[in-house]
Structure 1
Amino acid sequence: MPASMSDSSVQLSTVAVVGLGKIGLPLAVQYARKGYQVIGCDVNEQVVQNLNQGKTHIQEEGELALEIPCLVQQGYLSATTQTTDAVRRANVVVVIVPVLIDAAHTVDFQHIDAATMAIGAGLQSGTLVIYETTLPVGTTSSRLRSLLERTSGLYADQDFYLAYSPERVSSGTVFRDLSQYPKVISGIGRCSTARAAAFYRSVLEAEIITMASTDEAEFVKLIETTYRDVNIALANEFARYADSHGLNVRSAIAAANTQPYSHIHTPGVGVGGHCIPVYPYFLFANPFDEQEDIQEDDMLTLPRKARRINDSMAEYAVQRIERVVGSLSCQSVLILGVAYRGDVRETAFTSARLLQQALLRHGASVYVDDPYFSIGELQAQGYTPLPSGYEHMIDVIILQCNHRAFQNFDFCCASACKVILDGRQALCRKSIEALGIHYITIGDGEYKCSGRIHA
């Protein structure tokens, strides 16, 4: 074992951050402002060019626009498309390349495999490699370790360090979350764990939590996100029960949550984002071969059921609307918000897509409005933007995402609108009903109590 491999106090100077997305770029800035020379690596030439000019392509993190120009000018931060060359110069490599699922819910390792092979080609003895990408259990210790060792000719925890630490931050609040949330880490051996802990203590003020293995650290992130998905599914089941029994789920959940052991989430028209609707499927995946799923029919039944429930809420929302207005065939429906959550410019696995599909199946004409996207961007994503001056032709409005801008939406212009479904329980019911528009939300109990209204 090289001398450096037994010394977790070795001074580090250069960090390569592989992947400059919504999490990777803030991480690069965090490390740079802690005094490291950071090389950001990305396959997108425009992202690299912008960063080297002191510009950011991430708008949700206000600190980036302030920090990046200074860090670039001072030489603490630069970017390149040449990952292998950057890794050759780095003491630490942090990987935050996305792993997603395809339409069949199969885990797609393509991008992280490519990044890993590029890292392995430049990997030097004594370098620390940390994966922060959310991964199926066993991926770091098996698939990625094997790729690194094969491409570098080096051995993990003997020639180089290998660790896993799941990112636990949210888009728009990355720097706040980095300072507040404990950092979960583990290496594939004692030396790797010690080295990773030393690095994170040098760049974060947060508590460090060390797990027994990288498999266990990967499991932590999947537990976190799957818990939320299952909890939301439970809330949605409660909402549907409330509708069928003439009850108000919102007030019932609020009362139930006054008991300190009850933490029921809020029901709605679906679950979107990079994490919650994706990572439960990682629990079912085999990291050795992305084409082969591990079938464990007697395990993880709740996560599987939760995914089906949450994805079914769009169809349920459309049925709720038809309960009030009758058939949606040939009626015009406006979806407010295509982003997956309020005040972010991101559409990953958005519920707007499922709502659009459900509405089209029921024969409706579907329009969208979202202040975070241009008309061209909405069209490129397969949506029909609301034409200017067409508000008075809309029959139904669905609030899909709670952008603050929608709090000031002029519903007076929707003079033909018969019903608004508040999919996020965010609008003022009294204000809407004062306009003569029928207000409904998931779990308000009106599915049983109210009859249809007519134009």
Structure 2
Amino acid sequence: MAIFDLSPADVLNELKAGRLKACVVGLGRMGLPMACVLAEAGFNVVGVDVNREIVDLVNSGGGFEDEPGLTDEVKKWVSAGRLKAYTSFGVIEESDVVFIVVPTKAVGSKPDYGILYSASRSVGEHMNKGLLVILCSTVGPLITERIVKRGLEEASGFKAEVEFGLAYSPIRATAGRVIRDLKSYPRVVAGLSNKSLELASVIIGQTTSGGVVKVSSVRVAEMVKLAENVYRDVNIALANEIALICERLGIDYNEVANAANTQPFCHLHVPGLGVGGHCIPHNPYFMIDYALSEDIRPSLMITARSINDSMPKHAVRLIVNGLRDCGKDVHGSIIAILGAAFKPDSADPRYSPVEELCDELEVLGAEVRVYDPLVPIDTLKDMGYDAYEELEEAVDGVDCIVIAMPHSIFKENLESKLQEIYDYMRKPALIVDCWRILDPSKVRSLGFKYRAVGRGLEG
């Protein structure tokens, strides 16, 4: 069906009649949940991924433990015959709309769009006239036009907005709650033409209760997604910098922030070990790279990235100084890291600041153990961690424990286990609390030495 030749009303009627087929290119952490949401909206969905293991896992309804609820959704739509995965891009030939949801990242400080360009060309090689392509990956300014449009046109021989439509609608979702966010957050939508905008809007609008935010151009939509993540990165950096000053003053950042945030226009963020994940550490460089190419130096964004990237090293300094206060050298000390995921209550350890923390400690000669009850132990071991399944085993005979990720399970249970943990550890025992989840007076009353990001020695 040449969906680009239909009116938005006709597209909606075809969807409600169950006659539209959507193809999702990229079945990763955002693409597969998007496929499930599209199936729920009424599409017959095919997914394409070059990773045979992922394709087989989808088709078997296999487990996707790092994203809550995803396994059940996949099983439901595969069993209903509404979702099937392939390694071949040939299924695009029978599709009415294609969603490109492949990963984009920065290598160092340079954006890498290699996967996106390759995917765009592969779509172009198999597309028919009348297709609507909706890009959902996060990209820098002008990338929809310079990379995706170019790849589609070169490979297909078709002209965008004449023989096929192209729209951009960046995904707004957080790992650990992707399906919920996709179904509830407002979605920003733009098109290379008004026709693509209207068609994409009616389609995307069926997937979320949050509605659609139409913007005037794909350039605006590109900047919207980047601005959201840069805002968070810069504000986290501000919180981290204030936290460092609080340490020197011997006061508690939490008390400062709680009081300051009673002012309606103040929204201080939470400082800690740094910024992890697939988005915030990478996306600012998409904007920075473009700005530098236009002789604009975005000093605030560059500085924010530097501050947030420096926090694992600061945590190492707290550990080294704390051990010295215990009469110990970091070389030869045994250190248990509690939490390995990239964010609280996540089971995904990829792109976590904990990786750098562990690497730095090992370079200094420490023996590092890792415990995270939310991350499968095989995943941790595959990443090279000396991983433990039980907290008691992880802390037995260690000199220091580091609260590296403030999982809810740690916030709720760790303080009640401090005496037991103290008994397991070598004395003097040190706790380094990167997220200030423990009561320092209670920790010290049990005999621990205590250090924390954003808390002075008296805090």
So what's the TM-score if we normalise by structure 1?
0.90
Q: Which runs of 5+ in 2 are unaligned?
A: 15-19
- The equivalent residue for 1:280 is 284
Question: Residues of 2 paired with 1:364 and 1:106: CA distance?
Answer: 33
Question: Residues of 2 paired with 1:86 and 1:213: CA distance?
Answer: 29
The one-letter amino acid paired with 2:84 is S
Instruction: For residues 69-109 of structure 1, give each alpha carbon's deviation from its aligned partner in whole angstroms, at most 9, with x where no partner exists.
Output: 332232211111112x121111111111001122x322222
Worse-superposed segment, 295-304 or 267-276: 295-304
- The equivalent residue for 1:57 is 64
Question: Residues of 2 paired with 1:230 and 1:248: CA distance?
Answer: 21
SS of the counterpart of 1:393?
coil
Instruction: For residues 24-64 of structure 1, give each alpha carbon's deviation from its aligned partner in whole angstroms, at most 9, with x where no partner exists.
Output: 111111111121100011112122222222334354222x3
Q: How many residue pairs were aligned?
A: 438
Q: 1:315 to 1:175 in 2, by over 3 A?
A: same
- The equivalent residue for 1:378 is 380
Q: How is 1:48-87 mapped onto 2 (pairs within 5 angstroms)? A: 48-62=55-69, 64-83=70-89, 85-87=90-92
Residue 188 in structure 1 maps to residue 192 in structure 2: yes
The one-letter amino acid paired with 1:383 is Y
Question: Residues of 2 paired with 1:312 and 1:71: CA distance?
Answer: 44
Q: CA deviation at 1:295?
A: 4.4
Q: Is the 8 A contact 1:5 1:191 kept in 2?
A: no
- The equivalent residue for 2:348 is 346
The one-letter amino acid paired with 2:82 is Y
Q: 1:424 to 1:308 in 2, by over 3 A?
A: same
Q: CA deviation at 1:374?
A: 4.6
Question: Residues of 2 paired with 1:168 and 1:221: CA distance?
Answer: 8
Q: Is the 8 A contact 1:236 1:267 kept in 2?
A: yes
Q: Which of 415, 434, 449 is residue 425 of structure 2 equivalent to?
A: 415
So what's the TM-score if we normalise by structure 2?
0.89
Q: Which of 23, 35, 39 is residue 16 of structure 1 equivalent to?
A: 23
Question: Residues of 1 paired with 2:209 and 2:378: CA distance?
Answer: 42
The one-letter amino acid paired with 2:9 is S
Calculate percent identity across the aligned residue pairs: 34
Q: 1:92 to 1:56 in 2, by over 3 A?
A: farther
- The equivalent residue for 1:300 is 298
Q: CA deviation at 1:415?
A: 2.4
Question: Residues of 1 paired with 2:174 and 2:188: CA distance?
Answer: 16
SS of the counterpart of 2:146?
helix
Q: CA deviation at 1:279?
A: 0.6
Q: Which of 397, 405, 426 is residue 437 of structure 2 equivalent to?
A: 426
Question: Residues of 1 paired with 2:74 and 2:394: CA distance?
Answer: 42
Q: 1:405 to 1:163 in 2, by over 3 A?
A: same
Q: Which of 446, 449, 454 is residue 435 of structure 1 equivalent to?
A: 446
Worse-superposed segment, 415-424 or 394-403: 415-424
Q: How is 1:171-210 mapped onto 2 (pairs within 5 angstroms)? A: 171-210=175-214
Q: Is the 8 A contact 1:95 1:132 kept in 2?
A: yes
Q: CA deviation at 1:296?
A: 5.6
The one-letter amino acid paired with 1:137 is P
Q: CA deviation at 1:338?
A: 1.4
Question: Residues of 2 paired with 1:379 and 1:52: CA distance?
Answer: 27
- The equivalent residue for 1:151 is 155
Q: Which of 362, 365, 371 is residue 363 of structure 1 equivalent to?
A: 365
Q: Is the 8 A contact 1:22 1:58 kept in 2?
A: no
Residue 394 in structure 1 maps to residue 398 in structure 2: yes
SS of the counterpart of 2:335?
strand
Q: CA deviation at 1:6?
A: 6.5
The one-letter amino acid paired with 2:97 is V
SS of the counterpart of 1:203?
coil
Q: CA deviation at 1:229?
A: 0.8
- The equivalent residue for 2:103 is 98
SS of the counterpart of 1:10?
helix
Q: Is the 8 A contact 1:246 1:444 kept in 2?
A: yes
Q: CA deviation at 1:140?
A: 0.4
Q: Which of 291, 296, 319 is residue 321 of structure 1 equivalent to?
A: 319
Q: Which of 133, 138, 145 is residue 142 of structure 2 equivalent to?
A: 138
SS of the counterpart of 2:340?
coil
Question: Residues of 2 paired with 1:4 and 1:144: CA distance?
Answer: 18
Question: Residues of 2 paired with 1:15 and 1:47: CA distance?
Answer: 19
Q: Which runs of 5+ in 1 are unaligned?
A: 287-292, 451-455
Q: Is the 8 A contact 1:226 1:280 kept in 2?
A: yes
RMSD of the TM alignment (CA)? 2.3
